[in-house]
Chain A
């Protein structure tokens, strides 16, 4: 079975500051890992994903995440927050063994950006 834990249901940063959203996963098989963003009253947008290969993954809008197998983590970072980054962020896990896109989501982290 797989699971995802996002530490912190709400994170608040100042504009221009570093953003760090934490995600830890549990999986008995090699995972695929994803970060999605949901802006208010909108659907899900893929920020980035890790499947295989390079463990540092770069996504859209300056976000990146690093897969650390030893720590079972996939934390999302952005070196400089913008007001437009305010949204709900979801970490998700799938597995490489023929699940074909079935995702298990974390509880989400709401990011607020202060001027």
Chain B
């Protein structure tokens, strides 16, 4: 199994600022992902964090707004840039072993951001 730690767990941010969320996995995983959960809504995939290269973004999400890094197999960061109140969400890091026959998908506890 894998344990995912996210920091910060919660934060209140000022409009126009940027915040970087860190995701650390306690074992090597194949794939890492970032999701957003807006208040009262489901989870939406932001991007796949690729080790050593640019992240792969889903429709509606762009690198300038959500820069992502993944320098190694167990660590990734998501930055929420130039925040507005609409960015108030839970941001979740996910990791997968990626085995075709039975991948296991893990989630962090989430980073709860409020933009004021």
- Are B42 and A32 in touch, CB under 8 angstroms? no
**In the complex, are the beta carbons of B48 and A102 less than 8 A apart?**
yes
**A94/B105 contact (C-beta < 8 A), A43-B92, A44-B92, A101-B94 known:** yes
Asked if B43 contacts A101 (CB within 8 A), the reply is: no
Cβ of B98 to closest chain A Cβ, rounded Å: 4
Instruction: Please give, as numbers and ranges, the residues of chain A lying within 8 Å of B44 by CB-CB distance.
Output: 105
Cβ of B75 within 8 Å of any chain A Cβ, yes or no, is no
A101 near B42 with CB under 8 A, answer no
Neighbouring B residues of A106 by C-beta, 8 Å? 42
Using Cβ atoms and an 8 Å threshold, which residues of chain A touch B100? Answer: 96, 98
Whether B107 lies near A101 (C-beta < 8 A) is no
- Are the C-beta atoms of A107 and B42 separated by less than 8 Å? yes
For B102, what are the chain A residues with a Cβ–Cβ distance below 8 Å?
Answer: 51-52
Residues of B contacting A51 in the complex (Cβ-Cβ under 8 angstroms): 101-103
Q: Contact at B98–A101, with CB atoms within 8 Å?
A: yes
- With a cutoff of 8 Å between Cβ atoms, the chain B residues found around residue A94 in the complex are 103, 105
Nearest-Cβ distance from residue A63 to partner chain B, whole angstroms: 17
| B residues near A96, Cβ cutoff 8 Å | 100
Closest to B44 in A: A105
User: Could you tell me the distance between the alpha carbons of A34 and B43 in the complex, rounded to whole angstroms?
Assistant: 13
In the complex, B31 has a CB within 8 A of chain A: yes
- Shortest Cβ distance from residue A109 to the other chain B in the assembled complex, whole angstroms: 10
B residues with CB within 8 A of A:
30-31, 33, 35, 41-45, 48, 92, 94-98, 100-103, 105, 107-110
What residues make up the interface of A, taking CB atoms closer than 8 Å to B? 32, 34, 36, 42-44, 46, 51-52, 90, 94, 96, 98, 100-108
**13 pairs, CB–CB < 8 Å, chain A vs chain B:** A32-B103, A42-B109, A43-B92, A44-B43, A51-B101, A51-B102, A100-B98, A101-B30, A101-B94, A101-B96, A102-B48, A104-B45, A105-B42
